Structure 1
Amino acid sequence: MAIEGMNHFTVLSNDLERSKNFYIEVLGLTEGYRPPFAFPGAWLYTGNQAILHIMAGKPMPPNPAGVIDHMAFTANNLQATVDTLKRHGIQYDLHRLQGLEIWQLFCHDPDGAKVELDFPATEPEPKA
């Protein structure tokens, strides 16, 4: 066996619509086909790949992060992303990672999952 790549992340949500809004309206994913499971949820896509599954209707565990600290996505258009986060009132932490020459932006989804967005270092520093 050989791992060929990451397939998807699954996040738990107390409020499916609020979570969908964050990942669709703020991060730009699109909702797509999801099999008819017996519990509420959504599959969110980038292109043809469902990269994020949201599960709702289950009680949240006391430590929702478990052993996973965060999920990271490759992204583009740093300025537009920062503008969108501000418009939605979402706090974020942005820094340029020296050595790898990327911008790293961290924020949290509505249920507290940490999200990392990585942008090319060639993008200019966003305006305030």
Structure 2
Amino acid sequence: MSTLGIAHINIRAPRALLEQLHAFYREVVGLQDGPRPPFTRFGYWLYAGGHDVLHLIEASPEEQRLVNVITTVDHIAFKCTDLPETTRGLQQRGIPYRVTAIPLSQQQQIVLKDPAGNTVELNFADAS
């Protein structure tokens, strides 16, 4: 077998949190809603560059999904464009973030938290 890359990330959450995550990943990260097979469980598939990259699935009522906890998964990272517009949007929404310059490159990163407390990294190939 040869692995070609990551297919998608799946986040499961209760319905109210799922709706907050859906809004966050569309409005803040810039993913778009896209086609999703007719599964019995409610959810969304969010797309970037024509590919589904994030699946948001409603957790069943008996599931105990923890939020704002430290796990072995550290963060979710996305390739992005337009650093100035992104920082303006975060400031307008009052979302805390930090910007980090990557040594020996022109890359900048914005690091923030989603509504479930997951760390999200937005990577910009250059500072413009």
- TM-score normalized with structure 1 length: 0.86
Contact 1:43 1:52 (C-alpha < 8 Å) held by counterparts? yes
The match for 1:126 is: none
Contact 1:85 1:91 (C-alpha < 8 Å) held by counterparts? yes
Deviations 1:21-50 (A, max 9, x none): 101111111111111222221100013200
- CA–CA distance in 2 between the matches of 1:95 and 1:112? 19
Q: Which runs of 5+ in 1 are unaligned?
A: 124-128
Alpha carbons of structure 1 residues 50 and 3: separation in structure 2 relative to 1, 3 Å: same
Report the residue type matching 2:117 in the other structure. G
The match for 2:11 is: 11
Q: Which runs of 5+ in 2 are unaligned?
A: none
Contact 1:101 1:121 (C-alpha < 8 Å) held by counterparts? yes
Report the residue type matching 2:95 in the other structure. I
Cα offset, 1:63, TM superposition: 7.1
Q: Compare 38-47 and 60-69 and name the one that shifted more.
A: 60-69
Alpha carbons of structure 1 residues 62 and 115: separation in structure 2 relative to 1, 3 Å: closer
The match for 1:49 is: 51
1:29 correspondence with 2:34? no
Count of paired positions: 123
Cα offset, 1:6, TM superposition: 1.4
The match for 1:38 is: 40
Cα offset, 1:66, TM superposition: 3.0
Contact 1:69 1:114 (C-alpha < 8 Å) held by counterparts? yes
1:83 correspondence with 2:88? yes
Contact 2:68 2:117 (C-alpha < 8 Å) held by counterparts? no
